[in-house]
Structure 1
């Protein structure tokens, strides 16, 4: 009976001591997710800015209509892919 109590106490002590090690993994995963969301948000804002700049360049005559349409299509496709990734990670914001 004493052996069982000692063994139970050792397991409980090990569980308590290992607690911070188990928690740090979850914190690292949360930090990685937050960093990934931040990167995707920055990429999204960058694409939005590039779309606006291409539109301004077209309106001011710096881009032909064909060039503008090609650039706009590419930028919007990239923005949609970023939004899909954000949605998959649960972080779509406007």
Structure 2
């Protein structure tokens, strides 16, 4: 799972896409067990990247809040779960 975690930041889609450099304010209601990070790229501020981390080995509920001036209408997601360490599109 450690390798998949690094891949989320440095090559999540297999095309060398990376977590971008401009932080966007984000918060989780359960930060002790489920933290969230968000960012946009200086070259493409219309694409928001969010990484949500569940620190437990079981499902956890949390609400997240992202403060960004643009509204987003679609999502593409990659992740891992308890069934596999392989990073995959969701």
Whether these two folds match at TM > 0.5 is no
Give the TM bin, normalised by the shorter chain. Answer: under 0.3
TM-score by length of 2: 0.25
TM-score by length of 1: 0.24
Richer in helix (by share):
1
